[in-house]
Amino acid sequence: MSSNEEKKKSDYLTTVQQGCPLYGQRPDMFRLMRWNLCFAAMYRLPLERYFPACLRLLAITLDWTYELCLYSTMLHIDILFMYTLYLNKDKDDLELIVSCMIQTVIYTWAIVIKVFFKRVKPKRVEELMRYLNEECQTRSAPGFTYVTMKESADLANKCSAVFLIWCYAGVICWLFVPIFNQDRSLPLACWYPIDYKVPVVYEIVYFLQTVGQLQVASAFGCSSAFYLQVSVLFSGQFDVLNCSLKNILATTYLILRKPESELILLREKQNIANYELNQYYNAKEHNSDFDCIAHLVDVKTPKPKKFYEAFKIAFSPCVTQHLYILNGLKMLEELYSFLWFLKTIQVTMLICLVAFACVKRSPWYLHSSEIKQDVLFFILNAQRPFRLTGGKMYNLNVEKFRSMDLRQPQ
């Protein structure tokens, strides 16, 4: 057997019993994301996998070198924007000042993201990927119907890929502007201590700005795409759990080794009772092969004597999976809670800068006395919160949700 065939075979955890597959495929759901994180220096380069043990130190050195090169590239652009802002702070070039402040905030935030992922929380990032790759339930419990993680994994990878492509595309558009203008300008307008338009120097500066812009796109894209991908995958776990609970009686019957006639009767009643639209987030429900259902239960499990004992055996994995999901969401919250706090500050600063530029460009103050009442009316309305109501009878908010008793029908 070739190495490619061995690798392909190892990607499956499928075992076959009397022609019936018991488990589904368990691939690496973060392959694309991991390579993008490596490109952004937010995840260690997998050099140790290709280097012999005696060259492990070289692999670590190359990883540090790559990371420091990217840091220095972004940091020198960030410092240049700060110095450009300092040189023009007394001038009346509002557009340049606001642009420099925005770029300073963006580059500073991108550096913070990189350091946070690579040096502050690297174990948490690795743990989340391992947690979902190795411990997630790829298939719902044995029953008349089943769902898998395939649709959720495909959606997660597709959404993250599209998001990253648009992040890179937005940056690449800026990089082509100087080429189209043919004026030896730069994508980022900032002060340089040398004449960057001379040959060779211009190409080097242009290359460094290209690297910096691509790293900004990768930092912003990977931090958000990783959150998106993990969230979609855990939503898929809820789909698997939902289907397992839906088939809990069928699983119990299978554990009790009920005859086929009773299984058929239960399936008919379940098909009538469990009809519901949009009961899954993304998974597609499939009907199980009735001849294979009996083989989906571990034959080594002793047959219980009572229904309640069998029900506990069937219900226990559902409880375990629910705890698994809650623990995973807690890990995700621990990784992103402080990061989103900083993100809120960063976005607020950008909005304030853009709003300041818009207001500053408009000479509204020349007629402030005439529009005073309208401005005050606008300020008062801006302080009024938006309220979403249910039939104009009560407000839909967090407090209302917390006060609801979900155990009783409303």
The fraction of the chain above a pLDDT of 90, given in percent, is 53
Give the pLDDT confidence of 61-80 residue by residue, as tens digits: 999 999 999 999 999 999 99
Tell me the one-letter amino acid at 244: S
Judged against a pLDDT cut of 60, whether residue 203 lies above it is answered with yes
pLDDT band at 183 (very low <50, low <70, confident <90, very high): confident
pLDDT of residue 216: 96
Judged against a pLDDT cut of 70, whether residue 242 lies above it is answered with yes
pLDDT band at 2 (very low <50, low <70, confident <90, very high): very low
- Give the span between the Cα atoms of 59 and 52, in whole angstroms: 9
Mean pLDDT along residues 309-333:
94
Evaluate whether 332 touches 57 at the Cβ level (below 8 Å).
no
Q: Which residue has the tokens 């338009």?
A: 197
Contacts of 31-35 spanning 24+ positions with Cβ under 8 A: 32/157, 32/160, 32/161, 33/129, 33/160, 33/222, 33/225, 33/226, 33/229, 34/129
Mean pLDDT along residues 256-261:
88
CA nearest to 337, candidates 164, 116, 106, 30: 116
pLDDT band at 5 (very low <50, low <70, confident <90, very high): very low
Worst-scoring range by mean pLDDT, 1-5, 158-162, 169-173?
1-5
Q: Which residues contact 8 (CB under 8 A, 6 or more apart)?
A: none
- Give the span between the Cα atoms of 197 and 177, in whole angstroms: 16
Range ranked top by mean pLDDT from 129-133, 291-295, 343-347: 129-133
Give the pLDDT confidence of 106-121 residue by residue, as tens digits: 999 999 999 999 999 9
pLDDT band at 1 (very low <50, low <70, confident <90, very high): very low
Mean pLDDT along residues 294-298:
70
Mean pLDDT along residues 55-64:
93
Q: What is the dihedral of CA 167, 173, 178, 181, to 10 degrees?
A: -160
pLDDT band at 174 (very low <50, low <70, confident <90, very high): confident
pLDDT band at 92 (very low <50, low <70, confident <90, very high): confident
pLDDT of residue 350: 86
Q: Is pTM beyond 0.95 here?
A: no
pLDDT band at 97 (very low <50, low <70, confident <90, very high): confident
Strand partners, 149: none
Average pLDDT, the chain: 84
pLDDT of residue 402: 58
Dihedral sign computed on CA atoms, order 191, 193, 197, 202 = negative
Judged against a pLDDT cut of 80, whether residue 8 lies above it is answered with no
pLDDT band at 302 (very low <50, low <70, confident <90, very high): confident
CA nearest to 21, candidates 300, 317, 295: 295
pLDDT band at 343 (very low <50, low <70, confident <90, very high): confident
The fraction of the chain above a pLDDT of 70, given in percent, is 81
Exposed / middle / buried, residue 53 (Cβ in 10 Å: 0-12, 13-18, 19+): exposed
Give the pLDDT confidence of 366-393 residue by residue, as tens digits: 676 777 777 777 677 767 776 666 656 6
